[in-house]
């Protein structure tokens, strides 16, 4: 198989594989824990598993941001991608706030981090990158 054929096959596999996280993520954002209806009670295994999975994603996002620290002025692409992921999660949390009810203080803190602090840090990173480029150029 040619390199082009390998790329096309990989693209098709990734596109097909992406249906699951996009579908589950969109369902979770739009209807929340109700997506687990028909399973054991919400305090049982499905919610426990989903919570731990999402916590693992949150851990990876934080580690991803830490991975930019060494040469942060050169990590714009990674920083913007991580910021977009965090903001998307914040939009999901904001929808839950509007649809269900205001969350507790801890969740409101998370919402502030997701929709205010992280985008501001991303803008700051971009400014630092521009300053560094001017100094080098």
Angle CA 124–59–87, to nearest 5: 45
- Ranges of each domain in the chain: 1-37, 42-136
For residues 134 and 43, the model is more confident at: 134
pLDDT band at 88 (very low <50, low <70, confident <90, very high): very high
Which of helix, strand or coil describes residue 103? coil
DSSP-derived secondary structure letter, 67 = T
Q: Which of 129, 136, 135 is nearest to 76 (CA)?
A: 129
Record the tokens describing residue 87, joined without a space. Answer: 């903001």
Residue 78 confidence (pLDDT) above 80: yes
Residue 19 confidence (pLDDT) above 90: no
Angle CA 115–120–126, to nearest 5: 135
Query: Tell me, what's the pLDDT at 50?
Result: 79
């Amino acid at each position: 198989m040619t390199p082009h054929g390998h790329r096309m096959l990989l693209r098709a596999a990734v596109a097909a594989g992406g249906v699951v996280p996009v579908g589950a993520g969109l369902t979770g954002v739009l209807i929340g824990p109700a997506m687990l209806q028909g399973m054991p009670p919400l305090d049982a295994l499905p919610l426990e598993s989903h919570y731990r999975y999402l916590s693992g994603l949150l851990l990876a996002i934080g580690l991803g941001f830490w991975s930019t620290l060494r040469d942060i002025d050169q990590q714009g692409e990674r920083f913007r991608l991580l910021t977009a992921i965090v903001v998307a999660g914040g939009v999901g949390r904001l929808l839950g706030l509007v649809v269900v009810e205001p969350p507790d203080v801890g969740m409101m803190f998370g919402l502030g981090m997701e929709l205010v602090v992280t985008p501001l840090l991303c803008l700051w990173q971009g400014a630092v990158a521009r300053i560094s480029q001017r100094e080098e150029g």
